[in-house]
Amino acid sequence: MSFDSQAWLAEARALIGEAHVLSADCGDDLSAYTRDWRNKFEGPALAVLRPADTGEVQAIVRLAARTDVALVPQGGNTGMCGASVPTAGGRQAVLQLGRLNRILELDPENNTATVEAGCILQTLQEQAAAAGRLFPLSLGAEGSCQIGGNIATNAGGVQVLRYGNMRDLVLGLEVVLPDGERLDLLRGLRKDNTGYDLKQLFIGAEGTLGIITAATVKLFPAPGAEAVAFAGVSSIAQAVQLLGAMRGRLGERITAFEVISGAAVDLVRHYFPDTPPLLEGACPWYVLMEASDGGSDEALHEAMQTALMACLEDGCLQDVVLAGNLAQGQALWMLRENITHAQQMDGGNIKHDISLPISRIPAFVEQMLPRLQQAFPGVRPIVYGHLGDGNLHFNVSAPRGVAPAAWQRETDAVNTLLHDVVVAMRGSISAEHGIGQLKRHELALYKTPAELDVMRRIKQALDPQGVMNPGKVL
């Protein structure tokens, strides 16, 4: 039977309202929903659908399943691997969760919040803070990414070292399954041994198994004190040594430990010339670290200063500055956050989001830098990341004078060079950003046949029609 798109759109409008079904046929500009954040992936959409609640999501999913229209769940569309936009194949509609944005319950005694999937991450952080609590997930896109997207990507960020990633922060979920059934797993329990932990299937699944409509997440007591320091180190091995030394001295109080290469700092300075000078001399690598606890700022600063001075004496760092106040601390973090933006302004780079056991990171970096230069003379690696979690953004910028498009054609060769070594060292080719469209072919190369088989069987069991986010992950 032929597909009547006008009739389909009319049916969708009847379900969720005229104003909430956007389509190119009606002159709507869909590009904000059909093109990804990196401008790397774009696919046509029959419509962009903006339901208001779980019931409307169910109705749309049932319509899609009955009419063989695939759905692409979308949050803030800040994902890095093309998972949140349609692919070229088949009839696909974007299911935008932004209108499901309510905080349903904040329970300070249970230290939990129950929120709809479209709630912006920053809104949850602010509401938790107003209740004297901390929601610790924190990342550069927090002003626009959504909790549902954070869960579907198992987002990490800068405080994983202390609080874990999204998988560690989710206690309960509500999911609409590919046949429209509502799966209510919305419990705020820290202990529950009643069979399979079903919510884990949907965390990090990139919208391929169902639509997350709400979640119960963990909150923590708001830390009263924070201290931020920026250190120069002579090598990445020294950065690893410093991590061990600082954790040894300050323990769980170390909440973030970011490594930044000298080249990454130079790039930020080039595109953001107002970046204040940090240390007196230049170093090949830097570390941005943050500590927090429930005591006073003075006591924490003193503890951090004592620990840093001991590290200096022990030869774990070259130079260090401790932010004297909140504004100085924020300026240090701004430098870290501007790396992504500077790279975008700089043009083509080939991104890698890898993880390794922390102990193997120095050997990996020291091996890869010369190998990259040998294979691609003049190449500019911009390496930074969450060293405390063993996660590096090992991005490779084009040699000067090489056009971005020409450099992108080297993607497979650069990826193979890096990822073969990552996997040989028992690391992961995607620590944070996921698989999406970008690394789908690599997943098939690097996962074992047994892992791929189990993943395919789960997909087949939950989504036999292939309605959910086709062309992603598997």
Site string (75-104) toward ligand FAD, x via CB under 6 A: xxxxxx--xx------------x-------
d(CA 452, CA 17): 40
Out of 58, 114, 397, 469, point to the residue binding ligand FAD (CB under 6 A).
Answer: 469
Does residue 148 belong to the site contacting ligand FAD (CB under 6 A)? yes
d(CA 221, CA 319): 33
Out of 87, 153, 349, 397, point to the residue binding ligand FAD (CB under 6 A).
Answer: 153
φ and ψ of 339, to 5 deg: -60, -45
In the bound state with ligand FAD, the residue whose beta carbon lies nearer, of 125 and 305, is 125
In the bound state with ligand FAD, the residue whose beta carbon lies nearer, of 199 and 433, is 433
Does residue 212 belong to the site contacting ligand FAD (CB under 6 A)? yes
In the bound state with ligand FAD, the residue whose beta carbon lies nearer, of 146 and 395, is 146
In the bound state with ligand FAD, the residue whose beta carbon lies nearer, of 71 and 322, is 71
Out of 150, 241, 415, 430, point to the residue binding ligand FAD (CB under 6 A).
Answer: 150
Does residue 340 belong to the site contacting ligand FAD (CB under 6 A)? yes
Does residue 206 belong to the site contacting ligand FAD (CB under 6 A)? yes
Does residue 37 belong to the site contacting ligand FAD (CB under 6 A)? yes
User: Could you tell me the smallest distance in angstroms from the CB atom of residue 376 to ligand FAD?
Assistant: 26
Does residue 178 belong to the site contacting ligand FAD (CB under 6 A)? no
Out of 51, 98, 136, 207, point to the residue binding ligand FAD (CB under 6 A).
Answer: 207
User: Could you tell me the smallest distance in angstroms from the CB atom of residue 178 to ligand FAD?
Assistant: 11
Does residue 145 belong to the site contacting ligand FAD (CB under 6 A)? yes
Out of 432, 438, 439, 459, point to the residue binding ligand FAD (CB under 6 A).
Answer: 432
Q: How many residues bind ligand FAD (CB under 6 A)?
A: 36
User: Could you tell me the smallest distance in angstroms from the CB atom of residue 80 to ligand FAD?
Assistant: 5
In the bound state with ligand FAD, the residue whose beta carbon lies nearer, of 151 and 379, is 151
- Of 160, 179, 171, the C-alpha closest to 197 is 171
Where does this chain bind ligand FAD (CB under 6 A)? 37, 72-80, 83-84, 97, 117, 139-141, 145-146, 148-150, 152-153, 155-157, 206-207, 211-212, 340, 432-433, 469, 472
